[in-house]
């Protein structure tokens, strides 16, 4: 019989991290991935001599107390090399401006009208003070905090663009808390997951951090502090996990799970088209909203919660450019916030080997308007690039499109994020729809740290 201690459904970053943790804790693990490659959204591959990633990526919270750092320190045998992310810029018709990082930066940011800057700075200060004194801002939208009748359309576009990039949704659905964390004013950490419940030290630590929020508003020097990029590309993270994986892990690609076998409300195994596999626990890292496809008798309330999951789609256009195109001679990323907003990252500036000799590689990420057909979205996006960078077409050597769902659940005000535990015994969820902290790879890592906490509490793993 195909019997394992744990089966991991999905071989993206959260599934692979879970398999690593369980196997390093002595468990016999099977990973089932429906695609032919592992890593999914966290990967790199070569197109016409350029090494592209699955979208432009900044890896956040890479510091002590950050979830990926915690996992790397405790479970990796090899840690990839990360390089400083660099700076964030705003692209304007007159070139690049630095993204404001503190109060004086917002007040002097001359891309928006002076009156608007004063209003934004006031609102920012007020909300941070409220946060510091304990107001929960996770359900207050960014839209609600600003007097839109008195603000320009540029300010609306600017705010909406940053909300989309930080939460995947518009400013009406993005919480103030999400903006503060993404903007670097408020820190998140794994302290809650690794500290003993009711730990005095943890409470004192949280209070001390809050006192520093307003001072950070005055002195924050960099949005991207603690943000990095893996020097050998995104795939370096997945490769480091695979390198660290004990031999007790079996991985099957091209193998889609069709059913999760449940008896007496307890998970027993999974079925694929060809076979069935059995285990004491299942770690599910595929889309949480798809669970009802795999399990028939779920409680109605759980199904209704899963239906609230919101997602968004992104389009990335990778351009290979000849080196003479000077607009991208910086390390970091840039945001265009006017019509058809995008975030761009010249990733070959981190590693010359990503592009053929003398060439440059830039990724442009757009959010996809699902009311439009995909081909017109692609055309619009490409035309926007040609509009923003006059003459760029003369330097284009390679064009590559990617359509992706970056996170399995957007952290929006009315959305749903799943718990690690499910109504089915021994079925656990990891991935970007099972934690609301940070974004992407960092959020996936948070969900795995939370899984460790639950499995330790249940006595399933001890280390």
Ligand X SMILES: Cc1cc2nc3c(=O)[nH]c(=O)nc-3n(C[C@H](O)[C@H](O)[C@H](O)COP(=O)(O)OP(=O)(O)OC[C@H]3O[C@@H](n4cnc5c(N)ncnc54)[C@H](O)[C@@H]3O)c2cc1C
Binding residues vs ligand X (CB under 6 A)? 9-15, 32-35, 40-42, 54-59, 256-257, 285-286, 314, 316, 365, 404, 406-408, 431-432, 439-442, 444
Distance CA 461, CA 24 (A): 10
Cβ atoms of 184 and 223 within 8 Å: the answer is yes
Least Å from the CB of residue 55 to ligand X: 2
Least Å from the CB of residue 290 to ligand X: 7
The residue written with tokens 């949704």 in the block is 169
- 342 Cβ contact list (under 8 Å, min separation 6): 335, 336, 364, 365, 366, 381, 384, 385
Measured distance between the N- and C-terminal CA atoms of the chain, rounded to whole angstroms: 28
Q: How buried is 60 (Cβ within 10 angstroms: 0-12 exposed, 13-18 middle, 19+ buried)? A: buried
CB atoms within 10 A of CB 458: 12
The SS3 of residue 364 is strand
Nearer to ligand X, 30 or 42 (CB): 42
Least Å from the CB of residue 456 to ligand X: 21
Least Å from the CB of residue 385 to ligand X: 16
Distance CA 327, CA 346 (A): 10
Least Å from the CB of residue 58 to ligand X: 4
In this structure, what token pair is assigned to residue 332?
């970091």
Cβ atoms of 2 and 278 within 8 Å: the answer is yes
Dump the DSSP string for 321-350.
EETT-GGG-SSEEEEE-SSS-EEEE-GGGT
In this structure, what token pair is assigned to residue 299?
């409680």
Q: Give the sign of the dihedral formed by CA 219, CA 222, CA 228, CA 231.
A: negative
Nearer to ligand X, 32 or 72 (CB): 32
In this structure, what token pair is assigned to residue 97?
């401006």
Nearer to ligand X, 41 or 349 (CB): 41
Nearer to ligand X, 185 or 228 (CB): 228
Least Å from the CB of residue 98 to ligand X: 19
Least Å from the CB of residue 165 to ligand X: 9
Nearer to ligand X, 251 or 286 (CB): 286
- Please state, in angstroms and as integers, the Cα–Cα distance from residue 299 to each residue in 228, 304, 417, following that order: 42, 9, 17
Nearer to ligand X, 90 or 282 (CB): 282
Least Å from the CB of residue 56 to ligand X: 6
Nearer to ligand X, 244 or 314 (CB): 314
Nearer to ligand X, 233 or 406 (CB): 406
The SS3 of residue 370 is coil
Cβ atoms of 133 and 127 within 8 Å: the answer is no
């Amino acid at each position: 019989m195909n019997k394992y201690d744990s089966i991991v459904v999905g071989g993206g970053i959260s599934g692979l991290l879970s398999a690593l943790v369980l196997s390093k804790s002595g468990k016999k693990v099977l990973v089932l991935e429906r695609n032919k490659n592992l890593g999914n959204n966290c990967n790199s591959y070569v197109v016409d001599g350029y090494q592209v990633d699955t979208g432009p990526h900044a890896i956040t919270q890479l510091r002590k107390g950050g979830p990926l750092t915690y996992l790397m320190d405790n479970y990796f045998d090899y840690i990839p090399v990360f390089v400083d992310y660099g700076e964030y810029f705003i692209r304007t018709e007159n070139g690049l401006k630095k993204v404001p990082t503190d109060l004086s930066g917002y007040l002097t940011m001359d891309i928006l009208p002076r009156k608007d800057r004063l209003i934004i700075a006031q609102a920012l200060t007020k909300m941070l003070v409220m946060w510091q004194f304990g107001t929960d801002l996770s359900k207050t939208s960014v839209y609600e905090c600003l007097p839109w009748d008195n603000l320009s359309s540029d300010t609306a576009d600017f705010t909406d663009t940053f909300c989309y990039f930080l939460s995947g949704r518009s400013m009406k659905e993005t919480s103030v808390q999400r903006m503060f964390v993404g903007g670097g004013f408020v820190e998140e950490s794994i302290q809650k997951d690794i500290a003993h419940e009711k730990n005095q030290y943890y409470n004192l630590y949280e209070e001390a951090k809050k006192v520093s929020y307003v001072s950070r508003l005055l002195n924050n020097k960099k949005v991207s502090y603690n943000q990095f990029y893996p020097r050998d590309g995104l795939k370096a993270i997945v490769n480091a996990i695979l390198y660290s994986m004990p031999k007790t892990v079996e991985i099957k690609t091209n193998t889609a799970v069709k059913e999760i076998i449940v008896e007496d409300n307890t998970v027993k195994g999974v079925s694929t088209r060809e076979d069935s596999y059995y285990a004491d626990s299942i770690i599910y890292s595929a889309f949480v909203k798809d669970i009802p496809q795999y399990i028939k008798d779920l409680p109605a309330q759980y199904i209704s919660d899963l239906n609230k999951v919101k997602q968004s789609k992104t389009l990335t256009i990778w351009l290979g450019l000849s080196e003479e195109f000077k607009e991208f001679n910086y390390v970091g990323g840039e945001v265009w916030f006017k019509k058809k907003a995008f975030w761009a990252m010249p990733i070959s500036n981190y590693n010359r080997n990503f592009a053929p000799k003398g060439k440059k590689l830039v990724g442009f990420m757009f959010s996809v308007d699902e009311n439009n057909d995909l081909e017109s979205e692609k055309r619009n996006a490409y035309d926007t690039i040609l509009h923003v960078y006059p003459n760029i077409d003369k330097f284009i050597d390679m064009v590559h499109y990617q359509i992706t769902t970056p996170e399995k659940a957007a952290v929006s005000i009315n959305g749903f994020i799943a718990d690690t535990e499910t109504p089915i015994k021994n079925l656990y969820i990891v991935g970007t729809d099972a934690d609301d902290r940070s974004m992407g790879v960092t959020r996936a890592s948070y969900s795995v740290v939370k899984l460790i906490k639950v499995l330790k509490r249940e006595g399933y793993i001890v280390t």
